Structures are given as structure tokens and as C-alpha cells.
């Protein structure tokens, strides 16, 4: 896998340098922070022309720097549930989120707010790809991500470990998010970009919440919805 862009590279070198196999620099590249981080690590550095780097990464805008890294390592789901530290995290269950741009933005928002872990399905959904990592801009170093065979079974396991499950849904029976007294430990479920949360997953939800809309009766992009839920969760758990 490759990471490219100054922010993604800097955060990986700061937080997870052991996963870096080599550094790829465009000829003439100079950045004081990245050079300082590299000087503290014994990592192979390769310099190459701009067009060769772009061809290797299959992107035109690399900002002149990239890392060859180990494949992304997912966290064990049972480990996320283990102990008091695990229960301090809010679990974000994603049901069929296909767009890597959305997944990367979700990781970034969750990492910025802090105290979250992400759970994604193995099938019929986007996993952690190079595009996801680029959009996340280094946030993958700050939030655990678990991949499970079945989201419904993962939610059931969380409920057996005393988690309450709140679903982001539209329609009848859903309460406005800002009126819901959120219980902890907590998991939230966010559905696919076009179809929302499936019935098979929906039936495990304890509380249905919706984000109020004053004007256009549309729907929020899943990454925006996640950020709004994260904000409300952080506000309530500080009270």
C-alpha cells in the first residue's frame, strides 16, 4: 500500500513509523517537518522524477512525497469490547458504506473528536484502501478500525456487553438527535449512502435518532451525519 501527501505522510511517521517500508520523494522535494521526522527514523529513502512518482502511485498530485507501507491491520472486534477502556469508546457501526471518500471522511471526523472505534463489514462495503487513507489524512493512526464478517452479529455481541445501540434513521419513530438522552456505553449505526440501515440490522437498534432538518427534506451525506452524531455524543459524555 502507498500513502501520499504531506499530512498523511507526516502523521504516519509520527504515530506509526514501524509500518513504513520505504519513503518515496520527488526530486527536489523539501519539507522541514517531514525531513525532521525522517532524520529520527532509519527508513530507506528513494528519490525519483515527478512523472515517475505520479505513474507509480496512479495519481497526479502527490505533493512530492509518499510512503510504501504495510497493509492496513484491523483491530480484533472482541478486543474493542474488552474491559473498561473498551467501553469508554463509542462504537460506530457502518452498514454498507461503499464510497471510499465517505469512509475516509468518517475516520477523520471520528479521530478528531476522539474516543471512537469503527466497525465495518467484510462484504458489500468499502474496506481500508489507499484512497480511504488519503482522505483520512493520517486519522487512521488515531482510531481503531475492526472488520467483521457480520455487522448484525457484532451489534448483538456489543449488546451482550451492555452497549446501547442508537441508529441514525429517517422516518416514523425516530427522535430528533438533540432531544435524545444518550446512554453509555454506546454504539451508533449508520447506513449506506442511498438505502440507510437495513431491516436485518435495524431490528437490533434500541433507540432511533434523526438529525433535524429545517428546510430541505433530503438526507445528510453519511460522513456528515457521522460528524454530527460524534459532536452530540461528545457533548453529552462531557456532561
How confident is the model over 126-150, as pLDDT tens digits? 999 999 999 999 999 999 999 999 9
Cα(34)–Cα(36) distance, integer angstroms:
5
- The gap from C-alpha 128 to its chain's centroid, in whole angstroms, comes to 9
**Cell of residue 69, nine digits:** 507501507
Confidence of residue 24 (pLDDT cuts 50, 70, 90): very high
Q: Report the length, in residues, of the chain.
A: 239
Q: Summarize pLDDT for 217-239 with one digit per residue, the tens.
A: 677 899 999 999 999 999 998 87
Residue 193 CB-density burial (10 A; 0-12 exposed, 13-18 middle, 19+ buried): middle
Residue 215 CB-density burial (10 A; 0-12 exposed, 13-18 middle, 19+ buried): exposed
Cα(179)–Cα(186) distance, integer angstroms:
16
Query: What residues does CATH 3.30.1330.30 cover in the chain?
Result: 2-69
| CATH number for the segment(s) 2-69 | 3.30.1330.30
- Give the burial string for 200-210 (b: 16+ CB within 10 Å, else e): ebbebbebbbb
Q: Summarize pLDDT for 193-216 with one digit per residue, the tens.
A: 677 788 888 899 999 999 988 777
Helices and strands, number each (H, E), in the chain: 10, 11
Query: What residues does CATH 3.40.1280.10 cover in the chain?
Result: 77-237
The pTM of this model reads: 0.93
Give the mean pLDDT of the chain.
92
Cα(34)–Cα(146) distance, integer angstroms:
29
Residue 85 has pLDDT above 70, yes or no: no
| Fold assignment, 77-237 | Alpha/beta knot (3.40.1280)
For the CA atoms of 73, 15, 107, 176, the dihedral, rounded to the nearest 10 degrees, stands at 130
Cβ atoms < 10 Å from Cβ of 85: 8
Q: Summarize pLDDT for 33-52 with one digit per residue, the tens.
A: 999 999 888 888 999 999 99
Helices marked H in the chain:
6-15, 32-39, 50-57, 77-81, 83-88, 100-113, 130-136, 151-160, 199-202, 222-237
- At 44 the pLDDT is 87
Cα(4)–Cα(91) distance, integer angstroms:
28
Strand-strand pairing, 175-176 and 164-168: unpaired
Cα(45)–Cα(173) distance, integer angstroms:
57
Amino acid at each position: 500500500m502507498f500513502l501520499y501527501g504531506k499530512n498523511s505522510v507526516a502523521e504516519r511517521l509520527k504515530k506509526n513509523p514501524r509500518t513504513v517500508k520505504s519513503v518515496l520523494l520527488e526530486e527536489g522535494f523539501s519539507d522541514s517537518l517531514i525531513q525532521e521526522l525522517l532524520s529520527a527514523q532509519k527508513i530507506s529513502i528513494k528519490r525519483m522524477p515527478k512523472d515517475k512518482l505520479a505513474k507509480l502511485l496512479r495519481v497526479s498530485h502527490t505533493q512530492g512525497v509518499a510512503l510504501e507501507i504495510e497493509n492496513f491491520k484491523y483491530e480484533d472486534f472482541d478486543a474493542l469490547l474488552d474491559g473498561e477502556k473498551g467501553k469508554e469508546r463509542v462504537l460506530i457501526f457502518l452498514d454498507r458504506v461503499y464510497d471510499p471518500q465517505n469512509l475516509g471522511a468518517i475516520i477523520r471526523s471520528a479521530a478528531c473528536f476522539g474516543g471512537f472505534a469503527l466497525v465495518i463489514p467484510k462484504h458489500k462495503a468499502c474496506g481500508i484502501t489507499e484512497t480511504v487513507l488519503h482522505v483520512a489524512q493520517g486519522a487512521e493512526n488515531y482510531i481503531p478500525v475492526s472488520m467483521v464478517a457480520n455487522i448484525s452479529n457484532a451489534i448483538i455481541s456489543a449488546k451482550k456487553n451492555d452497549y446501547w445501540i442508537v441508529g441514525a434513521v429517517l422516518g416514523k419513530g425516530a427522535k430528533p438527535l438533540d432531544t435524545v438522552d444518550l446512554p453509555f456505553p454506546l454504539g451508533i449505526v449508520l447506513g449506506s449512502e442511498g438505502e440507510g440501515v437495513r431491516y436485518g440490522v435495524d431490528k437490533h437498534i434500541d433507540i432511533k435518532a434523526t438529525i433535524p432538518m429545517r428546510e430541505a427534506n433530503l438526507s445528510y451525506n453519511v460522513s456528515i451525519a457521522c460528524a454530527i452524531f460524534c459532536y452530540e455524543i461528545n457533548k453529552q459524555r462531557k456532561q
